[in-house]
Amino acid sequence: MNRTLHLICMLGLWVSVQAQNPCIHHLYTADPAPVIHEGNDSLYVYCDIDEGGRFFTMNEWRVFSTVDMVNWTDHGSALPLSAFAWAGKNSAWASQCVKRGDYYYWYVCAQKDKDWKHGIGVARSKKPSGPFTDALGRPLIWTDTGGDIDPTVFIDDDGQAYLYWGNNKVMYARLNPDMISYDTSVGDNGWVTVPMTAQSFGGVKDNDKEKKIIGRDAYEEGPWLSKRDGKYYLSYAAGGVPEHIAYSMSDSPEGPWLYQGQVMPLQDTGSFTNHSGVIDYKGKSYFVYHTGRLPGGGGFSRSFAIEEFRYNADGTIPELKATDAGVPAIATLSPYIRQQAETMNCGEHIKVVGNEATGVYVSDISENSSIRVKNVDFGIKKAKRFLLRYASDGGRVLLVIRLDGKDGVEIARMQLGDTNGKLTECSTRIQGKVTGIHDIVFTFEEASEAGTMKLDWWQFRR
């Protein structure tokens, strides 16, 4: 393919509209918190994992990262609920992570064991993708009144860090520089309660009248604190259940807050909750939220989704629709550098196991399994070989690689045999002339006990 044709092909693929929402397919990923860590090129989304069922069943938090907005790396079991000895099972609710100094601090909420109430804990790691461990051995925030959920953390330009949280109430604490304690000289022993007025939140909830909403967008839960051009933004899940997203602005991270309107009005997303975060990444503004739209999804099996938006000239946020299209790629992926098997646009019938300390692998492969990697740029010189590192403890499977879809042109196949559980590198020849930009799809056939297989990384060679 000549250079002009390559460029046309590239542009064509970049503008093509394909459903990118929800972003993750092999797990249900709720309560997203989008974060960029200083000095790191990736956008991270910290979230909790819905297991489905008739109520929230949530036993771990995971983190996913991207550099192109369409392929996401699952960093494995970054923070299991069991990391908090004080936490009761199934209660790993919303969270957010921030870097300060040498550490990443992941604020989460979980029920105290044998108590119906949640508290806010903090875990710490030297890596953004963990694994994280409990920094305190007890909740950081425990008002004992209920509603201590949905922490959002923000470090202002002057270095003061704030933790906001709350269901049916909005509270904040001024975190100390160690990030695991707070200034107890303000508010009620360090907990400041934000007044829930209609001026601040568009409406109020009258708890004496069966939680009747008076006004428009009364605060419910899920605060998200951010700053842009000297203005502070507090977006939140509003209106009672079912939830939509509204927001308020202020000249100070401590308020007073002035209600602005809705960001994501109520619509049929298949989930009675919504939970959002707003982030600027590589020159674009993104709104990250969750829906129940993944097949099999619903109110207790939610998945994060993303919309791009532009701030209005006066700094306000336009109203957004929850789309299936989501956001386009902002970069291509090179097949000529080593790519982790757990970096994908869509993984079906697979699991991602391990963590960043033990190694993260794609596992539980069966004949239904597939992995799609999007927007892969082979360039103008054809690819000649495909390399894979994997381990198998008894199982065998035939790996078939196709371009652009499960029914696309086959470019390679490879028998993956038993390696006695040892991670092993192998390679195969590429069929035909593979150049330009394509999605690549890995499918698995003739599987025998392939669940014992672990895929580590892959790479093409010219």
Which residues of the shown chain bind ligand FUB in the complex (CB under 6 A)?
A: 30-31, 48, 56, 93-94, 149-150, 221-222, 237, 273, 275
Nearer to ligand FUB, 270 or 408 (CB): 270
Residue from 302, 375, 300, 306 nearest 334 by CA: 375
Q: What are the backbone dihedrals phi and psi of residue 131, each rounded to the nearest 5 degrees, phi first?
A: -70, 150
Strands of the 303-309 sheet, one edge to the other: 277-281, 284-291, 303-309
**Beta bridge partner(s), residue 385:** 429, 461
Nearer to ligand FUB, 149 or 246 (CB): 149
Nearer to ligand FUB, 86 or 272 (CB): 272
Nearer to ligand FUB, 276 or 363 (CB): 276
Place of tokens 């619903």: 298
Nearest distance from C-beta of residue 236 to ligand FUB, angstroms: 9
> Which one-letter amino acid corresponds to residue 363?
S
Contact between 329 and 68 (Cβ < 8 Å): yes
Nearest distance from C-beta of residue 34 to ligand FUB, angstroms: 15
Specify the DSSP element, H or E, that contains 385: strand 385-392
d(CA 344, CA 304): 15
Nearest distance from C-beta of residue 111 to ligand FUB, angstroms: 11
Residue 72 token pair: 């996401």
Nearest distance from C-beta of residue 130 to ligand FUB, angstroms: 20
Q: 46-62 burial by CB neighbour count: b if 16+ within 10 A, else e?
A: bbbbbeeeeebbbbbbb
Nearest distance from C-beta of residue 86 to ligand FUB, angstroms: 18
Nearest distance from C-beta of residue 68 to ligand FUB, angstroms: 27
Nearer to ligand FUB, 62 or 275 (CB): 275
d(CA 58, CA 283): 34
Residue 403 token pair: 């371009």
Nearest distance from C-beta of residue 61 to ligand FUB, angstroms: 11
Nearer to ligand FUB, 237 or 344 (CB): 237
Nearer to ligand FUB, 239 or 436 (CB): 239
Calculate ∠ Cα 42-320-53, nearest 5°.
Answer: 75
Nearer to ligand FUB, 149 or 173 (CB): 149
Nearest distance from C-beta of residue 247 to ligand FUB, angstroms: 15
Residue from 392, 418, 393, 406 nearest 443 by CA: 406
Residue 98 token pair: 């921030």
* E strands present in 137-218: 152-155, 161-165, 171-175, 192-193, 203-206, 212-215
Peptide bond into 128 cis (omega under 30): no
